[in-house]
Chains A and B, each alone.
Chain A
Amino acid sequence: DGGITQSPKYLFRKEGQNVTLSCEQNLNHDAMYWYRQDPGQGLRLIYYSQIVNDFQKGDIAEGYSVSREKKESFPLTVTSAQKNPTAFYLCATQQGGTDTQYFGPGTRLTVL
């Protein structure tokens, strides 16, 4: 079992602190994505990575950073430079040669 794991489900941080959200997959998918969802809003792309050691900015990359050192892992760091970090963060994967993205369960980040 498994698929796409995001942990923790809920995360609380104080303003000014950096925080890293975990995304792990055992699907052997090549591409991984981070999206952000705000209440009543659609998904907005933060970063994505098609292969290990390479990633591209999405529409709202400012204040975020990522790494892709392993195929199965794509952690997202929310830095203190992100002005409104409280949101629902979603990780997705996509197998190379296909166009379907699969989503994890999400992490709800609340910055106090």
Chain B
Amino acid sequence: DAKTTQPTSMDCAEGRAANLPCNHSTISGNEYVYWYRQIHSQGPQYIIHGLKNNETNEMASLIITEDRKSSTLILPHATLRDTAVYYCIVRAGGGTSYGKLTFGQGTILTVHP
């Protein structure tokens, strides 16, 4: 799986959009970009994933650059409950990828009032 690079920490004001970047310059053609988050003392929570098109669900939007070397997770209206560590993971797709998810250090997002 390709390696990812994320900023160590970010701050965001409550009610504003949180934009979390991720670099994955060595991503392969069949690899998807996944985002998870982990709130303190809880299990990681799946947020969203995508291959090359932008994706949106009830939690967030994922914007992937055309060259696929980077992506941005957008939380449109951050709340205090969104304070967590956010992980960007690149993983082979096709429905055949079993085995470990490799979590890096992630980005600590702090949402403040």
Contact = CB atoms under 8 A, between A and B. Distances in A.
B95 A98 contact: yes
A97 B95 CA distance: 4
Interface in B73-113: 91-105
A45 B100 contact: yes
Interface string A39-64: 00011110010100000101100000
Residue among B36, B45, B101 facing the most chain A CB atoms (10 A cut-off) = B101
A106 interface: yes
Contact of B101 (A43, A56, A97, A105): A43
Q: For the side of the interface on B, what is the size category?
A: 20 to 34
Majority secondary structure of chain B interface residues (helix, strand, loop or mixed)? loop
Interface of B: 32, 34, 36, 41-46, 49, 91-105
A108 B41 contact: yes
B98 A103 contact: no
Majority secondary structure of chain A interface residues (helix, strand, loop or mixed)? strand
Contact of B95 (A48, A92, A99): A99
Closest 8 CB pairs of A and B: A103-B43, A45-B100, A97-B95, A42-B103, A99-B97, A106-B43, A103-B44, A43-B103
A44 to B, nearest CB: 8
Nearest to A97: B95
Interface of A: 4, 6, 31, 33, 35, 42-45, 48, 50, 56, 58-59, 88, 90, 92, 94, 96-106, 108
Contact of A99 (B41, B45, B93): B93
Contacts of A6: 43
